Amino acid sequence: MAEALAIREALPQASSLNYHHICIKSDSQVLVNTISSHRRSSELFGVFADINDLAFSPSSSFQSYRFIYIPRSQNGLADGLAKCCLAAHLISKPSSVT
């Protein structure tokens, strides 16, 4: 879940920085396969729908994109970033709360 949320947050950032070619690496084989195949996971349906819309839609600013599996031993930095994203997501105030 943490890496899926991190990817969902990273795609608009990459687009706003005018990146047109992206390569996202993850140590979750299931996550990479789900995103690459455009399948929907019932557990994270909304997150995967957002990722698909941001990366694969015709209106996407990305000219090329790759989602690649790499072993956890080679993915420490991204794992830390994903955990930070999850922590921020869990402690942020919902927009419906005033």
Q: What is the pLDDT of residue 91?
A: 62
Residue-level pLDDT, tens digit, the chain, 98 residues: 778 888 888 899 898 899 999 998 888 898 888 888 877 666 677 888 888 888 888 888 889 889 999 998 887 777 777 677 777 766 655 555 55
- Identify each DSSP E strand in the chain by its residue range: 21-26, 64-69
Q: What is the pLDDT of residue 76?
A: 78
Cα separation, 61 vs 16, in Å, equals: 9
CB atoms closer than 10 angstroms to residue 5: 19
Cα separation, 25 vs 83, in Å, equals: 15
